[in-house]
């Protein structure tokens, strides 16, 4: 796995940097080592009983209770058609819930949408701009729609946003002539037009080549280091795994898992793997330590780690005269866990 993995989930939320009304958040997100989620006021997004039934009777989102901690990078995962985009559209007030409520940055929607949304940047279901306008003109248009944006600083803010996504040199080019990666970056730039407390990105890497995916991932990581809460949806765990602190997994409109990455790994017990020339003896030592599910195959003995520390196991093995060629406690494969949660194959969309 990548060495670029950010802070483990033990430090769930960075304190939001200099927000006018972030006082409630700061109190709850101290450097507490406990992986338990912060209190309600430390949540950037909460939904309760959120349900959307479309006119055809199809239930796209069913009784959803999201809890996105402030300062987290929340990977909102699930196969295509599992209700991610519908949920995001409800968060942003684009579609109205059939039942349930949304609370953004401590303010209850829908009444609060006009108050809260200026502090929320978003990219919903891919980029969409006026093809005949340049990148800069498109951002100017979006900024003009914001009644709380200062028109005087608009040119500077727009150039800064373009610069941040690396489009400044293409600012005068028509949107029509942009590559898919540039379009995607322009869409991200709309959420950078002003300082935000929350950024919601729906499939920001959709349709990008590996190079573009890396660029976007780097950009999100950069945004998140400023203490901004990021919710990023994807149907690929691998795509967001490296930058997320928390995940929520959707399956056919329901949330099947929500918590920190560490908690998700905890779903599958961690194992210790010992490479040795004396597998029989090693297995005996592991059994003596009380480890369960001992398996032995071609010079490797493995067992469930449980609460035992790797150091103690190593010491016991050596004391028992077992030559230890290698000892590892590999991280559980998240991809397998994810597929286990969301189901496999084409029939998962219900």
Partner 1 sequence: MSTAEATGAPPAGAGQLAAGAAAGPGAVAAWLRLLRSELRLVFRRLRNLALLAVLAALPVLLGIALRLAAPRGGGGPESSFIDQLAGNGVFLAFIAITVMIALVLPLAIAVVSGDSVAGEAGLGTLRYLLTVPAGRTRLLAVKYVAIVIFALASCCVVVAAALATGATLFPVGPVTLLSGTTVSLGEGLLRVLFVTLYVAAGMAALGAIGLAVSTFTEHPIGAIATVLVLAVASEIADNIPQFAVVQPYLPTHWWLFFDSLLRTPVATTDLLHGLLSFGVYAVIFCAIAWARFTSTDVTA
Query: Among 116-124, 213-221, 273-281, 335-343, which window interacts with partner 1 (CB under 8 A)?
Result: 116-124
Identify the residue among 151, 323, 330, 350 touching partner 1 (CB under 8 A): 151
CA pair distance 33, 13, nearest whole angstrom = 11
Using rule CB under 8 A, residue 149 touches partner 1: yes
Q: Determine the interface stretch with partner 1 among 145-153, 203-211, 257-265, 307-315 (rule: CB under 8 A).
A: 145-153
Report the 10 Å Cβ neighbour count for 56.
Answer: 7
Which of 4, 27, 128, 277 touches partner 1 (CB under 8 A)?
A: 128
Nearer to partner 1, 122 or 276 (CB): 122
Residue 96 or 346: the one with the smaller Cβ distance to partner 1 is 96
Shortest reach from residue 117's CB to partner 1, in Å: 4
47 binds partner 1 (CB under 8 A): no
Is residue 93 close enough to count as binding partner 1 by CB under 8 A? yes
45 binds partner 1 (CB under 8 A): no
Among 65, 114, 267, 325, binds partner 1 (CB under 8 A): 114
Tell me the longest C-alpha to C-alpha distance in the chain. 76
Indicate which single residue of 56, 111, 210, 321 sits in contact with partner 1 (rule: CB under 8 A).
111
Closest distance between partner 1 and the C-beta of residue 94, in Å?
Answer: 4
Number of residues that bind partner 1 (CB under 8 A): 37
**What gap in Å lies between CA 195 and CA 157, rounded to an integer?**
10
Binding mask 176-205 for partner 1 (x = CB under 8 A): -----------x--x---------------
94 binds partner 1 (CB under 8 A): yes
Cβ proximity to partner 1, 31 vs 111, nearer residue: 111
Q: How far is the CB of 160 from partner 1 (least distance, A)?
A: 17
Rounded CA gap, 105 and 193, in Å? Answer: 19
Distance CA 284, CA 276 (A): 13
Evaluate whether 9 touches 246 at the Cβ level (below 8 Å): yes
For residues 226 and 192, give the distance between their C-alpha atoms in angstroms, rounded to a whole number: 12
For residues 22 and 71, give the distance between their C-alpha atoms in angstroms, rounded to a whole number.
11
- Long-range own/partner contacts, residues 340-345 (CB < 8 A, 24 or more apart): 341/249, 341/251, 341/256, 341/257, 342/77, 342/78, 342/79, 342/82, 342/249, 342/250, 342/251, 342/256, 343/79, 343/251
Rounded Cα distance between 268 and 281, Å, is 27
Which ranges constitute the DSSP H helices of the chain? Answer: 23-28, 84-91, 113-116, 135-144, 154-164, 180-190, 210-225, 237-241, 261-266, 279-288, 310-319, 334-342
Q: For partner 1, which residue of 7, 57, 96, 321 counts as binding (CB under 8 A)?
A: 96
Site for partner 1 in 71-90 (CB under 8 A): 89
What is the contact surface with partner 1 in residues (CB under 8 A)? 89, 92-96, 109-111, 113-115, 117-118, 120, 122, 124-126, 128-132, 140-142, 144-151, 187, 190
């Amino acid at each position: 796995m990548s060495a670029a993995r950010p802070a483990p989930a033990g430090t769930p939320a960075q304190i939001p940097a200099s927000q006018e009304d972030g006082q409630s958040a700061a109190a709850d997100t101290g450097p507490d080592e406990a992986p338990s989620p912060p209190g309600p006021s430390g949540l950037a997004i909460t939904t309760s009983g959120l349900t959307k039934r479309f006119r055809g009777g199809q239930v796209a989102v069913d009784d959803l209770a999201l809890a996105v901690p402030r300062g987290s990078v929340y990977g909102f995962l699930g196969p295509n058609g599992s209700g991610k985009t519908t949920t995001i559209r409800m968060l942003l007030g684009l579609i109205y819930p059939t039942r349930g409520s949304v609370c953004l940055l401590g303010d209850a929607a829908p009444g609060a949408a006009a108050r809260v949304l200026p502090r929320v940047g978003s990219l919903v279901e891919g980029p969409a701009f006026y093809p005949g306008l340049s990148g800069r003109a498109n951002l100017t248009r979006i900024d003009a729609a914001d009644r709380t944006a200062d028109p005087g600083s608009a040119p500077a803010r727009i150039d800064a946003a373009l610069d941040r996504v690396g489009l400044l040199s293409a600012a005068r080019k028509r949107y029509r002539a942009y590559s898919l990666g540039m379009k995607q970056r322009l869409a991200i730039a709309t959420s950078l037009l002003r300082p935000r407390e929350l950024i919601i990105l729906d499939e920001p890497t959709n349709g990008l080549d590996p190079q573009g995916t890396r660029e976007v991932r780097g950009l999100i990581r950069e945004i998140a280091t400023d203490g901004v809460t990021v919710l990023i949806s994807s149907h690929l765990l691998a795509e967001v795994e490296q930058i997320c602190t928390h995940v929520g997994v959707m399956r056919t409109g329901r949330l099947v898992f929500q918590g920190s990455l560490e908690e998700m790994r905890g779903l599958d017990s961690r194992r210790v793997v010992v490479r040795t020339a004396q597998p029989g003896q090693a297995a005996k030592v592991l059994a003596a330590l009380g480890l369960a599910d001992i398996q032995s195959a071609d010079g490797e003995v493995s067992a469930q780690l449980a609460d035992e520390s790797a150091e103690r196991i190593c010491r016991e093995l050596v004391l028992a005269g077992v030559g230890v060629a290698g000892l590892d406690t590999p991280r559980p494969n998240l991809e397998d866990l994810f597929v286990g949660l969301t189901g496999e194959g084409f029939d998962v969309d219900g």
